[in-house]
Amino acid sequence: MMNLACWAVPIRDGYVLRADRSTAAILQAAPARSPQFWGWRIALIQPQSQQFSAPLAARAAVMAVDYARLAGGALPEDGSTGRGRIMLWMEVALGLALIIASGGHWVPALAGTWLLAGPRGFGRVVGLDGLAALAPTAPAQQPLVSSDAHAGLGRIERAMREVDDDSAAYALGAVKARADGLDEVAEVYEALAEGAHPSTLPPHIGFWVADETLHNPWRLALPAPTAATGDAA
């Protein structure tokens, strides 16, 4: 199974669930792996407070991870792609120059033609430049969700509890999260400090689990309500 992490960021009235930044990379690599490893083992990173409801958060964690799977994003590029592009253009330029300068001689014309079409075309035909499939992959097994307390997250929650004003508390949480290297957590607090309501957070920031639903897993406040269709008519 794949080892994934999902943050349960404590806010004033509940938690914001958000997949760790490693999740997208793991799920992007998944199609290249054997299907037997396509299961999800999600570690729910939480501040270990009394109000945390693991079973409810577990459902939201699966949603947050699934969003990361669908939103995906390409694998981070290394420098080789840029270098390869430069070399490709160098080959094309020299190939054209050889054909133009050949003056009817077959040797430079053939060399130019080879540079223009040979290495790339032949490499593609014999499969030298093949890439691994990178389509999003659904989990092949039931996701396993576990809960792990994070000391830094707990410290942030305790510090925020001492501040009365919501925006100030979120700003403080953002500062502390940045100082602790918890960038995902900081982004959630920064969005909330700017006045956004938890229910209006964009999905790439996180999914809100409200306090009022904490003890009722079947009343999940997720996803955001949509306009009624058939019943309203």
Partner 1 sequence: MAPLEPSIAVQDSDPNAQLIDAFVVPTDTGSAVLIDADYGRLDAVAGPFQIALYSRLPLSMGELAVIRARVEADLFTHAVRTATEGRRWVLALLMGLLELGTVGVLLAFLFLNREPVHAVVAWAAPLGFLPGVLHAWRAVTRRRAGASARATLEVGELLPTIAVGRDGESLARLRDLWRNINQPNEPRDLMRLERVARTRVRWPEAARFYRALAAAPDAATPPGRLAWLRALARRRGSAPQPLTHLEARSQ
> Site residues for partner 1, window 70-99 (CB under 8 A)?
75-76, 78, 87-88, 90-91, 93-95, 97-98
Name residues contacting partner 1, limited to 184-203 (CB under 8 A): 190, 193-194
Does residue 137 touch partner 1 according to CB under 8 A?
Answer: no
b/e per residue 99-111 (b: at least 16 CB within 10 A)? beebeeeeebbeb
Name residues contacting partner 1, limited to 210-229 (CB under 8 A): 215
Does residue 22 touch partner 1 according to CB under 8 A?
Answer: yes
CB-nearer residue toward partner 1: 83 or 224: 83
Cα 226 from Cα 108, distance rounded (Å): 66
* Interface pick for partner 1 out of 3, 51, 141, 200 (rule CB under 8 A): 3
Closest approach of partner 1 to the CB of residue 14, in Å: 15
- Sign of the alpha-carbon torsion through 49, 54, 59, 61: positive
**Token code pair at residue 79:** 């420098």
Cα 111 from Cα 31, distance rounded (Å): 39
CB-nearer residue toward partner 1: 92 or 203: 92
Does residue 136 touch partner 1 according to CB under 8 A?
Answer: no
Does residue 117 touch partner 1 according to CB under 8 A?
Answer: no
156: alpha, beta or left? (left if phi > 0; alpha if psi -120 to 50): alpha
* Cα atoms found within 13 Å of the Cα of residue 26, Cβ hemisphere only: 22
Does residue 123 touch partner 1 according to CB under 8 A?
Answer: yes
CB-nearer residue toward partner 1: 111 or 210: 111
Does residue 142 touch partner 1 according to CB under 8 A?
Answer: no
At 10, which helix (H) or strand (E)? strand 2-11
Q: Which amino acid is at 217?
A: P
* Interface pick for partner 1 out of 9, 11, 16, 43 (rule CB under 8 A): 43
Please tell me the count of residues contacting partner 1 according to CB under 8 A: 83
Does residue 128 touch partner 1 according to CB under 8 A?
Answer: yes
Burial class (CB in 10 A: 0-12, 13-18, 19+), 38: middle
In order of 3, 44, 145, 148, 229, the CA distances from 39 in angstroms are: 9, 16, 11, 19, 35
Q: Which residue in the block uniquely carries the two structure tokens 């299907």? A: 35
Does residue 111 touch partner 1 according to CB under 8 A?
Answer: yes
Closest approach of partner 1 to the CB of residue 141, in Å: 13
Binding part of the chain for partner 1, among 10-18, 142-150, 202-210, 223-231 by CB under 8 A, reads 142-150
Phi, psi values for residue 57, rounded to 5°: -65, -30
* Interface pick for partner 1 out of 180, 203, 210, 211 (rule CB under 8 A): 180
